[in-house]
Amino acid sequence: MGAKAQLIRDIRKRLSAEQMEVQRRAYLFVARNTTLPATVRHKAQLGLNSLNGGEGRMGAVKSRCWETGRGRGVISKFGLARFQFRLKALNGELPGVHKSSW
């Protein structure tokens, strides 16, 4: 499977998680509220379990490089793999980033 397909899948998971966030938080609030009856809490837990087959969670999202799709060695602040970060920094394409010397 190519890097582009993995990147597209990651973007799809991010969008799905963003859309489901409000509904997921509502289910969580009801399921964890101990003042509500057990049947209501149980139904909320079942609804939470059935949300989009696990794709509606932020835990399913993997940080990937936006240039190459690489899943390891990603600097999250810039969204780039370490090698791409180095190339862009040396070319001056990242504002405020420069090679250190002391």
Q: Which residue has the tokens 């602040």?
A: 77
pTM score: 0.58
Residue 24 phi, psi dihedral angles, 5° rounding: -65, -40
Q: Is the pLDDT of residue 29 over 80?
A: yes
pLDDT digits (tens, 9 = 90+) for 49-102: 887 666 667 777 778 888 888 888 998 888 899 999 999 999 989 988 888 888
Per DSSP, the three-state class of 75 is strand
Question: Long-range pairs for 15-22 at CB < 8 Å and ≥24 separation?
Answer: 16/52, 16/55, 16/56, 17/55, 17/56, 17/57, 17/58, 17/60, 17/61, 19/56, 20/51, 20/52, 20/56, 20/57, 21/58
Class of domain 63-102: few secondary structures
Cα(66)–Cα(5) distance, integer angstroms: 12
Q: What is the DSSP letter of 15?
A: H
Question: Rounded mean pLDDT of 33-60?
Answer: 81
**Structural domain spans, the chain:** 1-61, 63-102
